[in-house]
Structure 1
Amino acid sequence: MIKLSPETPEEGWEVETLYDLCFAPGREGLSSYRLRDGVAPVAGLSHVARDEFGELAGAIRYWPVLIEPVQTSSGRAQCVRALLLGPVAVHPTRQGEGVGGLLIRQSLAKAGETGWARVMLVGDAPYYARFGFTPLAGVEMPPPTNPARVLGYELEAGAWSGIVGKVQKDA
Structure 2
Amino acid sequence: MSSWTDTPQRYGRISRGFHWLMAALFAWQFAGALLYVSIGDTALTKFVGGSHLTMGFTLLVIVVLRGAWALVSLKRRPPHTGRLGRAAASGHALIYAVMFVQPGIALLRQYGSGKGFSPYGIPLMPERGSKITWMMVPADLMHYWLGFAFLAVIIGHIAMAAMHQFFWKEKVISRMT
TM-score, length-normalised on structure 1?
A: 0.27
Choose between structure 1 and 2: higher helix proportion.
2
TM-score, length-normalised on structure 2?
A: 0.26
Choose between structure 1 and 2: higher strand proportion.
1
Instruction: Compare relative contact order (CA 8 Å, sep 6+) and give the higher one, 1 or 2.
Output: 1
